[in-house]
Amino acid sequence: MTTDKLTVVESDRQQELEQPKAASRPIWLVALAALAALAAATWITVVAVTAGTGFDTTDEGFYLLSYRWWDTNLRTFSAVQYIYGPVFEALGYNIAWLRLFRLFTIVVTLAAFGWTFMRWLRRRRPNAPASRLWEFAGTAAIVAAGAATYGWLPLSPGYNDISLLAGFIAATTVIASAIRAAERKPVPPWIPAILGVTAAVAMLVKWSSSAAILGTVAIAAVVVLLPLGWRGIAKFTGWATLAVVVTLAAIHLLIVPLDVAVPELLTVNKLAAASASSPALLLGMYWDTSVIVAQRIVWGNKVLFAMSTLALVLPWVLRGRLWQWVGVVAVGIGMARSAWLIYRDGGLGGGTISLTRYPLILMTLMAVALLITVGTLIRRRWGREPGGSLGNEGRSGWAIYALLLVLPAVQALGTGNPLYFMAINAFAAWMALIIAVLTGVERSALSVRGLAAATAAGAVAAAVIIGSSGVSRHPYRTSPYTASTASSGVPALSSVRLDPATASAYGELYQLLQPYVQPEGRAVMAFDEMAGIVLLLGGRSVGEAWYSQLDTGRTAKGIEAACAQPWWGSRQPILIFNREVRQMEIDTLAACGLAFATDYRELAPGSAPLGLKIYVPQDGE
């Protein structure tokens, strides 16, 4: 056969892969696609329905307060307010709508990532059904696994959302580039341009995780672009770099002057790095907690791993259909044992109440998928079983798999929580790997395929249950959906319902302070971590929006910096405490020219709502 004829045949084969026949839709694929779509729709609906309930005055309150004054209060450690602030303003400062906007961005990003990944995976799975339902089913499963994002984080979007979205968008651009590079076609400029825009925004918002994400993505991109040569890599880099420059210029001209915003960011981050958020302390904590988690996963699921290994080994060592069924039974025993342990320990569920438990469940499922992968590669290497297309992955394929494997961890860097608390929010990346394993062992023994299928089904079901309960039953530091039935009468919280007791307390607090906080924008100092109280009062924080309970020195420096050029005129700031006043606050006020003992009086001593201590200026203004 001539070279031209070979080219034609290859081209025809590529068209078959890219345009599968719509008629080839086996019943099992239709059912699988329907179940995956139902799973995705379930958690999306739950999140949408609960968007108008609950309010957290700590972390969520900090996010929303910084968005409310995004273009006036520039002292912050993250540029996230320049992303969500204009959106919050455009939505009329409606909290429920901002939460829905968060949902929209997550679903659209995961859908784009999932569809791109499934298109790329089809080229590596020659036995895949010739129907777009195959891509749809995989995409729906990945979106369904995205429910884990709502396992415990605040309901409104924050800087962790930017890291999460940036990680998935960057991975999507690499996978899309791999599709083009495999066909020896140049990568369209818009793909690296999207990566450049993402990189610019992410680096401003959360530099620690963004640097790790972009470094990992850069390595994977070079590997997948090698078929295009160094010239192709240079073009990709050039377009991405140009997009970074254009994005930064647009932010500088249209949103906030970077020569004003960046120095503030650097100042606050230096203060944070010198105390409780120092890189050395964080890395040490990450390592210690990760070792503990790994030990808990291995020891707590020893029966599951033993039975999974048996299911992988038996059909390989002992030939015959009988041993395949013995392997299937072993899979059933292992899965049943793990399911019983989950039930015994309280069942599946999200929220901070389960934060030390449910991530381990999802991580265990990913560990089983890795075990299947290792077993498949070993069997193929020793020539005892063909296994399937998973054993045929080339350099580009393994680069993408490696990127998705580490993506949850790198997007989580920089947080003050154990790494796995944040990593599991990107479980959708691991779901893509589980799908790759499931579709790549198509020629393996029945027990191996059954183990892969059970892992995938368990991953989807667990993520949906965790995410749905995380917003409905155990939302972050606020009341559950069924208990959130009352309106507070506070304008800033008009879009959300709260539990009756909390709603009454917030309404009472607002009425008590209304004469002092009108018009909006009154200077308020709320110690500690009560940014949401400032928000519901319509106030504006002095210094940072976040008054850390652990790093009071940083808070003091922020207040002193604001006092150097006071913007509140003759209306001295209102002081709110959830504890006794300390000498540090008295000294900080003195540095601002305010004498706490003579310039302030306590408002409603002993009877202020929520047990707060509220101090207003002696002159009554």
Q: Give the separation between CA 169 and CA 112, rounded to whole angstroms.
A: 8
Q: Give the separation between CA 146 and CA 471, rounded to whole angstroms.
A: 13
Q: What is the pLDDT of residue 386?
A: 60
Q: Give the separation between CA 97 and CA 50, rounded to whole angstroms.
A: 11
Nearest to 70 by CA among 211, 217, 205: 205
Q: Give the separation between CA 278 and CA 62, rounded to whole angstroms.
A: 21
Q: Cβ distance 484 to 497 under 8 Å?
A: yes
Q: What is the pLDDT of residue 276?
A: 61
- Please state, in angstroms and as integers, the Cα–Cα distance from residue 248 to each residue in 209, 256, 262, 269, 477, following that order: 19, 10, 11, 20, 35
Q: What is the pLDDT of residue 5?
A: 38
Nearest to 437 by CA among 483, 389, 396: 389
DSSP reduced 3-state for 359: helix
CA triple 57-63-67, angle to 5 deg: 125
Where is 81: in which H helix or E strand?
Answer: helix 81-90
Spatial CB neighbours of 430, under 8 Å, sequence gap ≥ 6: 145, 362, 365, 366, 369, 404, 405, 408, 459
Q: What is the pLDDT of residue 471?
A: 97
Nearest to 176 by CA among 131, 244, 112: 112
Q: What is the pLDDT of residue 347?
A: 85
Q: What is the pLDDT of residue 18?
A: 47
Lookup: tokens for 219 = 């390595």
Query: What confidence tens digit (pLDDT) does each residue in 214-250 have?
Result: 999 999 999 999 999 999 999 999 999 999 999 999 9
DSSP string, 458-501: HHHHHHHHHHHHHHHTS-TTS--GGG--B----GGGTT-BB-HH
Nearest to 178 by CA among 448, 451, 393, 333: 393
**Residue spans of the chain under pLDDT 70:** 1-24, 276-277, 318-320, 381-387, 621
Nearest to 118 by CA among 18, 250, 32: 18
Q: What is the pLDDT of residue 90?
A: 98
DSSP string, 564-610: HS-SSTTSPPEEEESS---HHHHHHHHHTT--HHHHEEEESTTT-GG
Q: What is the pLDDT of residue 384?
A: 56
Q: Give the separation between CA 213 and CA 217, rounded to whole angstroms.
A: 6
Nearest to 197 by CA among 243, 258, 241: 243
Nearest to 363 by CA among 276, 438, 275, 304: 304
Query: What confidence tens digit (pLDDT) does each residue in 35-57 have?
Result: 999 999 999 999 999 999 999 99
Label residue 541 exposed, middle or buried (CB < 10 Å: 0-12, 13-18, 19+).
Answer: buried
Q: Cβ distance 576 to 525 under 8 Å?
A: yes
Nearest to 578 by CA among 513, 518, 533, 517: 533
Q: Is 317 left (phi over 0), alpha (psi -120 to 50) or beta?
A: alpha
What are residue 573's phi and psi, to 5 degrees?
Answer: -60, 150
What are residue 535's phi and psi, to 5 degrees?
Answer: -65, -50
Q: Cβ distance 123 to 182 under 8 Å?
A: yes
Q: What is the pLDDT of residue 17?
A: 45
Length of the chain: 621
Cis peptide before 528 (omega within 30 of 0): yes
Whether pTM exceeds 0.85: yes
Q: Give the separation between CA 312 and CA 197, rounded to whole angstroms.
A: 44
Give residue limits of the domains in the chain.
25-54+94-472, 491-617
Cis peptide before 519 (omega within 30 of 0): yes
147-152-158-163 Cα dihedral, nearest 10 degrees: -60
DSSP string, 19-75: S--TT---HHHHHHHHHHHHHHHHHHHHHHHGGGB---TTHHHHHHHHHHTTTT---
Q: What is the pLDDT of residue 382?
A: 65
